[in-house]
A = this chain, B = another copy of it.
Amino acid sequence: MSNRKTQESQRAGTPGPKDAKQKRTVRSQERVLTTTIELLYEAGLSLSVDEVSRRSGVAKTTIYRHWPTRAALVLEACRKLTPEPRVPDHGSFVQDVSDLIETLAQLLNTARWSAVLPSIADAAERDAEVAAVFGQIQAGHAAPFCEIVRRAQRRGELAKELDPSIMTAMLIGPVFYRRWFSREPIGKAFIQALIRQVVGAGSFMEQESAKSKQAE
């Protein structure tokens, strides 16, 4: 948008990723984005550009030189919240799902990150652009679950009739619910019960869930 190339880089014809941006420019853009994410954690989507400017030390005019509107800035910051998909492969569905859920629970219990999602989800109800970004973030969380379900089905560990996206909802849903709706702790007992429930019902070999019988 504001990426006007300098004559030099265009003449040299180097299509490198730096795009002839000055060091200073990169620095202030990074500072602004970092601060914006920080404020996202604290205030949600309703953060103000003035506050970003104050806290980052970057002049408001400079911010507007790089992002045309407040919305553009906020949306770019939100996009940075997308997790890089990590799909574990321990060879068994129970272990894969335990890995993913425990990681997710850890994240929800500690990261300041988790205070932002409701704000984005709320805005997504009314703003198509936010909804798109939110969908991307959401997919980043759901995709690994879908993947391990499909893999388990290929291995014959799970019934093929199960819809991976439904399974994903049953795995993630209760965890999210605990964090944002019932606001109860997400402890070991909860996680174990959840896994046993979902795995036990969909699995061909019920004995698998027996070894995790000692809850709490």
Contacts and interface: CB of A to CB of B under 8 A. Distances in A.
Residue among A46, A189, A190 with the highest chain B CB neighbour number at 10 A: A190
A172 B121 CA distance: 18
B178 A169 contact: yes
A177 B180 contact: no
Given A173-B175, A194-B170, A138 B184 contact: no
Contact of A174 (B46, B169, B196, B201): B169
Contacts of A3: none
A72 interface: no
Contact of A115 (B43, B46, B126, B193): B126
A208 B193 CA distance: 21
Interface string A160-192: 011101101110111111101111100001100
Instruction: Give how many copies assemble into the complex.
Output: 2
A182 B142 contact: yes
Interface residues of A, number: 47
Residue among A44, A193, A198 with the highest chain B CB neighbour number at 10 A: A193
A200 interface: yes
B182 A177 contact: no
Nearest to A142: B182
A47 to B, nearest CB: 12
19 contacts: A43-B126, A131-B183, A138-B182, A138-B183, A163-B189, A165-B182, A166-B189, A166-B193, A169-B174, A169-B184, A169-B190, A169-B194, A173-B173, A173-B176, A173-B178, A173-B181, A176-B177, A197-B201, A201-B201
The 8 closest A-B pairs by CB, nearest first: A173-B177, A173-B174, A173-B173, A118-B122, A169-B174, A197-B201, A200-B201, A201-B201
